[in-house]
Amino acid sequence: MLRREDQWLDWRHFPAPTYGRTRDASVAWEQPGPELELLLSNGEGKHLECKQEVPEGNSRKKMLKTIAAFVSQDGGTILIGVRDDLQIVGLPEKPTVDKQELQVVGMIRDSVEPAPPYESRVIDHDGKKVLAIEVSGGGQMYAYRDPDTQRPEFYVRVGPNTVPARHPEIAAGFRQAPTTTTF
């Protein structure tokens, strides 16, 4: 719906965002609160993971494994600033939201291979800032590279859990990998 003050200018239907598909950048959403509530309405599951704050240590590894699982399958969203019980707490004020977003982007760049298709954006909900990492399905297997061992690890999402991929799942993911021909 497009309006100027109280006058309706246009009315259009936009299909709900589908996991694994890139968001239409030509559509500007003015009411991110309802969008966030829609994401949270079904709770954590195959396509949604919530984190209270930018993860550190073992929690960081869990988030990055989840991103690898999302991109290896149908995609999904990680919301940072939302507790596991789905309460929106927002990001802490220090460091700045921009620094927290850059920290997460750096984690993904350093730990998921190949570089996954995703968008990060900040949603303002009742004065609380939530960082949304929207991961598109990549059509192939993506690996989490453990910084200690440098070994690639493959994961899938089963319900609300991220679990190690089995050999047949990994093989099937590589058979789907896009092929390129160079001359």
Q: Residue 145: give its domain's CATH number.
A: 3.30.950.30
Does 17 reside within a domain?
no
Sheet containing strand 152-158, strands side by side: 112-113, 143-145, 152-158, 161-164
The verdict on residue 23 lying in a domain is: no
Residue 11 has pLDDT above 90, yes or no: no
Phi and psi angles of residue 39, each rounded to the nearest 5 degrees, phi first: -60, -40
Q: With a cut of 90, say whether residue 86 has pLDDT above it.
A: yes
Residue 178: pLDDT band with limits 50, 70, 90:
low
Indicate whether 176 belongs to any domain: no
The pLDDT of residue 27 is 58
**Residues forming a β-bridge with 77:** 48, 134
SS3 134: strand
pLDDT of 52: 95
Write the pLDDT tens digit of every residue in 127-138.
999 999 999 988
The residue whose two tokens read 């709770």 is: 43
In a domain, residue 50? The reply is yes
pLDDT at 55: 93
Residue 16: pLDDT band (50, 70, 90) is low
Average pLDDT over all residues of the chain: 84
Domain span including residue 68: 30-151
pLDDT of residue 182: 54
In a domain, 142, yes or no: yes
pLDDT of residue 39: 83
pLDDT at 51 over 80: yes
Q: How many domains does the chain have?
A: 1
